[in-house]
Amino acid sequence: MSKKLIRLADCCMAFDGELVLDHINLYINDSEFLTLLGPSGCGKTTTLRIIGGFITPTSGEVLFDDVRMNDIPPNLRKVNTVFQRYALFPHLNVFENVAFGLRIPKTVEEGGRKRKVRVPEAEIRQRVLEMLEVVSLKGFDQRRISELSGGQQQRVAIARALVNRPKVLLLDEPLGALDLRLRKDMQSELKRIQQQLGITFIYVTHDQEEALAMSDTVVVMDQGRIQQIGTPEDIYNEPKNAFVADFIGESNILDGIMHEDFVVEFFNRKFKCLDKGFAPMEPVDVVIRPEDIDIVPAEKGALRGTVTSVTFKGVHYDTIVDFKGFKWLIQTTDYHSEGETIGIVLNPDDIHIMRKSQYSGMFGDYSSYSEEYDDLEDVSLLEEEEGGDEE
């Protein structure tokens, strides 16, 4: 792989004695699109702010190119940030907002003498206009910020950061305030820009779909700890624990016992699987993705259950099935009416085995399934923003 650009070594962060980051170890490669993913309060924004230099970790080291950066203020880091809700300067127009960073004189050391260097006005003009073109805002340079739509403001914020040619761009929930449609457009736009410029993006979001769609690497965080690092495929297919399994996509998670390699028992039945390396008779979590489950007539199924609710989702149906008191979510394209008894078939590659963790037993049961789940997530995110800035 390409070289390591940024390294967080054993970083901890505490606010008022409360541990927010718990021994974070993370490296970020050059030209990588890395996403910090997790629910509100998981420490992802804090991690980003440590990299940006807005806060200093309580312990541990931040290394850029193997140089310790803990005490370097943000203005001296080759890192730029796109802020939540953009933080554009309302008193400046689009052009001046983008030119802001270029107008700050940089101190350069030359032969032991410190000298202030300014970017010439002509170059500023050229670079700003160029960058506005990159973010598809050509001709908007004299507009006032208040005259722009949310999506346009978003682009200005990106241009403002990128015009300084940072090695790393930090994006803190940049699409959170946009509507769904715009969000999708901006996702591909961001990916395009990242590939066009070939720089590192560190992206913070709580939206797993966004994370999976854009990232090279996803870092799943919860309660100040990294739960899993991997490519989107890895994370989805091989979740390390119940939290990741539940947070990334939908999962049915059951208690199981690993009898031997490739054999797992749950619901008092043994199933074949593709996992090995567990101790004999080790209790494990078993993950079964709802879309992997095939429904068959009751008599042909390996397990039998009763449909308790059906919701039409467009491409598929969300079917909740009761198996001996444990409710599963199954996604199929076929319709099964409520009260119907059905059977299911599980293939060995549909069954994922995870070691027991602190999250075991907390997720994966759909008895309290609610469609509003996603919306609630957004609300709590907003609360976190308000509260987080109070410090």
Partner 1 sequence: MKSKRALFAVPYVGWLALFVVAPIVMVVIYAFSTAGGGFTLENFARMGTYATVFTRSFWLALLATLICLLIGYPVAYFISREGPRFQRVAMMLVMLPMWMNFLLRTYSWMSILENTGLLNRLFQSIGLIGLVNRIFGTSYDYFPMINTQGAVVLGMVYNYLPFMILPIYSVIEKMDGSLLEAARDLGANGAGVFRKVILPLSLPGVLSGVTMVFVPAVSTFAISRLLGGGTQMMLGDLIEQQFLGGAYNPHLGAAISLVMMVIVVVCMTVMNHFGEGEEQAVML
Partner 2 sequence: MKKANRTGSRFLIGLMFLFLYLPIILLIVFSFNAGDSSAVWRGFSLNWYRELFQNRLIMESLYMTLLVSLLATVISTAAGTFAAIGLYSLSRRKRDAILMVNDIPMMNADIVTGVSLCLFFVAFFQGWGGFARWFNGVQSAVELPTRLTLGFGTLLLAHVAFNIPYVILNVSPRLRQMDKNLVDAAQDLGCTWMQAFWKVILPEIKPGIVSGALIAFTMSVDDFVISYFTAGSATSTLAMTIYGMTKRRITPEINAVSTLLFLTVLVLLVVVNVREAQLEHREASREPRKPTLMERIAGRTNTPGWRWAKRGAGAAAICCFVAVVVFLTGATSSQPVVNVCSWGEYIDEDLIGQFEEATGIRVNYQTVESNETLYSLLKSGGADYDVVVPSDYMIAKLIEEDMLEELDYSNIPNYALIDERFKGLSFDPGERYTVPYTWGTLGIIYNRNMVDGEITSWSALYDDRYAGNVLLINNSRDAMGAALMYLGYSVNTTDPDEIRAAFQVIEDANRRGVFQGRVMDEVFQKMEGGNAAIATYYAGDYLSMVENQADGVDLAFVIPEEGSNWFVDAMCVLKDAPHKEAAEAWINFIASTEANLANMDYIWYASPNKEALEQYPAYYEETYGEELDQETYEIMAAPPEVLDRCEVYENLPQETLSLYSDLWVELGVG
Handedness of CA 203, 206, 212, 217 (dihedral sign): positive
Q: Please give the C-alpha separations between residue 331 and each of 15, 274, 303, 337, 339, in angstroms, as whole numbers.
A: 43, 22, 16, 14, 17
115-147: b (≥16 Cβ within 10 Å) or e: eeeebeeeebeebbbebbebbebeebbeeebee
Task: Give the distance from CA 95 to its chain's centroid.
Answer: 31
The residue within the footprint of partner 1, chosen from 10, 54, 334, 361 (CB under 8 A), is: 54
> Which of 69-77, 305-313, 350-358, 371-379 is the region at the interface with partner 2 (rule: CB under 8 A)?
69-77
389 binds partner 2 (CB under 8 A): yes
Nearer to partner 1, 54 or 373 (CB): 54
Tell which positions 229-248 bind partner 1, by CB under 8 A. Answer: none
Number of residues that bind partner 2 (CB under 8 A): 32
* Partner touching 319 among partner 2, partner 1, none, CB below 5 to 8 Å by kind: none
38, 58 in Cβ contact below 8 A? no
The residue within the footprint of partner 2, chosen from 10, 25, 58, 89 (CB under 8 A), is: 89
* Partner touching 160 among partner 1, partner 2, none, CB below 5 to 8 Å by kind: partner 2
Cα–Cα distance between 92 and 75 in angstroms, integer?
20
Handedness of CA 179, 181, 184, 190 (dihedral sign): negative
* Partner touching 28 among partner 2, partner 1, none, CB below 5 to 8 Å by kind: none
CB of 53 to partner 2, least distance (A): 8
CB of 40 to partner 1, least distance (A): 21
Nearer to partner 2, 46 or 251 (CB): 46
90 binds partner 2 (CB under 8 A): yes
Nearer to partner 2, 83 or 278 (CB): 83
Handedness of CA 205, 199, 73, 90 (dihedral sign): negative
83 binds partner 2 (CB under 8 A): yes
Q: Residue 330 is inside which H or E element, if any?
A: strand 326-332
The residue within the footprint of partner 1, chosen from 16, 66, 109, 391 (CB under 8 A), is: 391
Nearer to partner 1, 110 or 390 (CB): 390
Provide the mask over 313-352, with x wherever binding to partner 2 is found by CB under 8 A and - wherever it is not: ----------------------------------------
Cα–Cα distance between 252 and 361 in angstroms, integer?
11
CB of 4 to partner 2, least distance (A): 23
48 binds partner 2 (CB under 8 A): no
166, 80 in Cβ contact below 8 A? yes
* Partner touching 84 among partner 2, partner 1, none, CB below 5 to 8 Å by kind: partner 2
Tell which positions 119-178 bind partner 2, by CB under 8 A. Answer: 121, 142, 144, 160-161, 164
55 binds partner 1 (CB under 8 A): yes
Half-sphere exposure of 260 (CA within 13 A, CB side): 0
The residue within the footprint of partner 2, chosen from 40, 46, 47, 84 (CB under 8 A), is: 84
Q: Copy the structure tokens of residue 287.
A: 């993950």
Alpha helices in the chain (DSSP H): 44-52, 94-103, 121-134, 150-162, 180-197, 208-214, 232-237, 242-247, 373-388
Contacts of 197 (CB under 8 A, 6+ apart): 134, 162
* Partner touching 241 among partner 2, partner 1, none, CB below 5 to 8 Å by kind: none
Cα–Cα distance between 89 and 120 in angstroms, integer?
22
Amino acid at 344: I
Nearer to partner 1, 73 or 139 (CB): 73
| 252 conformational bin, left if phi > 0, alpha if psi -120 to 50, beta if neither | beta
76 binds partner 1 (CB under 8 A): no
Task: List interacting residues with partner 2 (CB under 8 A).
Answer: 52-54, 73-75, 79-81, 83-85, 87-92, 100-101, 103-104, 106, 118, 121, 142, 144, 160-161, 164, 389-390
Task: List interacting residues with partner 1 (CB under 8 A).
Answer: 54-55, 391
